[in-house]
Structure 1
């Protein structure tokens, strides 16, 4: 079977298309199939047309397409005018068999919400804020890291707006 995964940020092209293939021994391989730059608008139809051109240029078989992974942008997941809607129109009767997956990074974010990291994050964020918010503490901490030849020279701020910063802050905090 063949899984074509599409990962994009519709605000900042290029689009990257990956091909995931499973052979008869159930070994999976992944390869970058195409990198396409979009200019101007990036509607679902624009994204689909770029995808269709890439699939056709690579001579991939549409009947082997079993699943698509996208981000959650409306231009991607829209059932009527989005990429998914255009793709389903194109493959016709097989559309009911098409598996849709949400980007793995976003799945990790959803998972993190249910893991109850509140206590850990409160401690880490308060410690980082204590170090970074006071100039003397921050200078002393950087000097300490320099003296012990630490891999990193500073701690990272956590921002609630970007959930991805949780992982970066925790990783840096743990390493330091």
Structure 2
């Protein structure tokens, strides 16, 4: 089986726990992860002012095909929702049947770009009223609907990452990674 790939699209204000936890979990499962900032910066400043080094400029990888595109939440969701390049990447990956994932306020980004309409999802409570009319909204901590994976917020970031592993690589790999981080299976 070819090695799986995931693109994390970030912007200033991304929630670091929702970025770092799933990136770490996917890398433990040997998924090749690329972190790219919408501003094409070498570093992204997170919600709590941490500087995280990016792996690539979003403009340089916008035409690459990844197995998953992941959007962390945080105040950055407003920037990502208004960025045309983000919409183009999401739309291309949705058309190709690839995994689209969003956590916390990031389902708002999917809503603004017209992605996954009618599917089941969840989000951080503050964006629920904006998006619930276009989706089958759930209050579950993490929701998987086919190739769409969504989660509620920072406290669910590990579960979100493990759900991504399961969707990309199967339950056996998810359990292996979960046991390795002492996450209850």
Q: TM-score, normalised by structure 1?
A: 0.30
Pick the structure with more strand per residue.
2
Q: Which protein has the bigger helix share?
A: 1
Larger Rg: 1
Q: TM-score, normalised by structure 2?
A: 0.29
